Structure 1
Amino acid sequence: MKLLIVEDEASIMDRLVRLARSILKERIETLHTAINLSEALALIETHQDIDLLLLDLNLEGRDGFDILKDLASRSFQTIVVSAYTRRAIEAYELGVLDFVPKPFDEERLGLAFSRVTESVPLDAHFAKYLAVRSAGRIELISLEEIEYVQADGPCSLIQKTDGAPRCHDKMLKTLQQILPPHFERVHKSFLANMQAIDGMIAGPDHQNVLTFPSGRTIPLSRSFAKAFRARLETRDP
């Protein structure tokens, strides 16, 4: 794991570095630190393969939310470590993996890391938007506007109910960690918004597909199609 910690208080930075090394041990491949957003962005551009960002939201008096939308659109996951708990829901809605309130202990920080290393889900907090970079600006896409997300190499394609797909820097499995349960992995290459579907039909070559009101379809794995059919039968009177 390639880790970047952004924190301007030296004592807290030292504690985060020490606890990260204690919890993650040999999982850490590289660990970089920054004390402000400018330094953090320079490191992100230099080390473009960062896996996880730990971010304070108040850096030398600057509001970290100014940059959080951009950071949430990147390929890595973001864990916020902040005393501004009143903004936790806002951070989750932008797609952070976890919000660790200050002061924190090793157990709470370890739980946050487990969401990365073991894909431990949050009980109730999920993204409300997906942030994508497009034409030099950040676009926030409401989950209600999304039909499905498709794997596209090291990135993902977000298909909205209308318009062309948008490219997201996060891989499909990474997005799945921050999306709510109604975004289901229906195929190795697709996450479907099950609240947006029309139904399931047999497509070409007897391949089961999900249909959407837009007329678009996506393939289903055999195992998901079987389980989904059983769910439909259970709902029948």
Structure 2
Amino acid sequence: MNILIVEDESRIAKRIERMTRAIFGDRLQSIKHINTLQEAMKFIGNNELDLVLLDLNLNGSSGFDLLTTAVSESFHTIIISAYKDQAITAFEYGVLDFVPKPFNQDRLAQAFKRIHTNEKTATNTIKFLAVKKRGGIQLVPVEDLIYIKGAGAYTKLFLADGTKELHDKSLEKLEQLLSYSFERIHKSYLVKMSEITNISVASGSKYMAELRNGLRIPIGRTKYKDLKAKWI
């Protein structure tokens, strides 16, 4: 694990680092502490990361200025902040968890555990997926999303208007973040359940999901029974 801590209070940053080292042990490859948004943005752009631990108030600057960029990257973001009233907004932008201050090691470990499990976020309020565009970040409304296809380390987002967007997060990471209205119907596909109009068996015993737009997407053999039960 390569982890970045973005926290302006040195005492809290050291506490986070101490707990993080204790939790990950030998699995921790590197951990870096930065106390300003500007330096953090530069570091993110030049280093491979697995996780960012972000405070929302950095010397008077808003962590949300960094968050919109962070959630567009391949890594997960966990907020550690005393501003509990901003938790819902943070989840809307696609963070994996929100750890309120003050916190203990058990609560931090709980957040870290979700990085390597298929457990989805504790809330289904995510409203946007942030994608990189030339010159900045575009927030794609989740309500406009029909399905997502895995493309190696990346994913392709397919929208209702026919457009496609490329996201840096893997299908597994987006599966963790998206609400329960999306289901992993195949190793390569996440689909919005409300878009499925029919589930059928095609020639060669291939299972297919037909969407409102007429597109047919394969269903994994191990997913068929569970998907049909949920769809009905």
Shared fold per TM-score greater than 0.5: yes
Distance (whole Å) between structure 2 residues aligned to residue 25 and residue 197 of structure 1: 44
Distance (whole Å) between structure 2 residues aligned to residue 134 and residue 73 of structure 1: 10
Tell me the residue number matched to 2:38.
38
Tell me the residue number matched to 1:92.
91
Q: For residue 163 of structure 1, report the CA deviation from its aligned partner.
A: 2.3
Tell me, what secondary structure is at the counterpart of 1:195? helix
* 2:125–2:179 contact (8 Å) kept in structure 1: yes
Aligned length: 232
* 1:197–1:211 contact (8 Å) kept in structure 2: yes
Distance (whole Å) between structure 2 residues aligned to residue 42 and residue 32 of structure 1: 13
TM-score (norm 2): 0.93
- List gaps (5 residues or longer) in structure 2: none
Distance (whole Å) between structure 2 residues aligned to residue 86 and residue 229 of structure 1: 38
Once the two structures are superposed, what CA deviation does each residue of 1:186-218 show, in whole Å capped at 9, x if it has no partner? 111001111222222344654222111222221
Tell me the residue number matched to 1:50.
49
Q: For residue 153 of structure 1, report the CA deviation from its aligned partner.
A: 1.0
Tell me the residue number matched to 2:192.
193
Q: For residue 139 of structure 1, report the CA deviation from its aligned partner.
A: 1.9
Tell me, what secondary structure is at the counterpart of 1:124? coil
- Which amino acid letter does the alignment assign opposite residue 35 of structure 1? N
Distance (whole Å) between structure 2 residues aligned to residue 50 and residue 144 of structure 1: 29
TM-score (norm 1): 0.91
Residue pairs, 1:95-106, within 5 angstroms: 95-106=94-105
Tell me, what secondary structure is at the counterpart of 2:143? helix
Distance (whole Å) between structure 1 residues aligned to residue 66 and residue 79 of structure 2: 12
Tell me the residue number matched to 1:66.
65
Tell me, what secondary structure is at the counterpart of 2:195? coil
Distance (whole Å) between structure 1 residues aligned to residue 44 and residue 228 of structure 2: 45
Distance (whole Å) between structure 2 residues aligned to residue 167 and residue 220 of structure 1: 22
* 1:126–1:178 contact (8 Å) kept in structure 2: no
How many percent identity over aligned positions? 39
| Aligned CA-pair RMSD | 1.7
Distance (whole Å) between structure 2 residues aligned to residue 142 and residue 21 of structure 1: 36
Tell me the residue number matched to 1:210.
209
- Which amino acid letter does the alignment assign opposite residue 17 of structure 1? E
* 1:154–1:171 contact (8 Å) kept in structure 2: yes
Tell me, what secondary structure is at the counterpart of 2:223? helix
Distance (whole Å) between structure 2 residues aligned to residue 223 and residue 229 of structure 1: 11
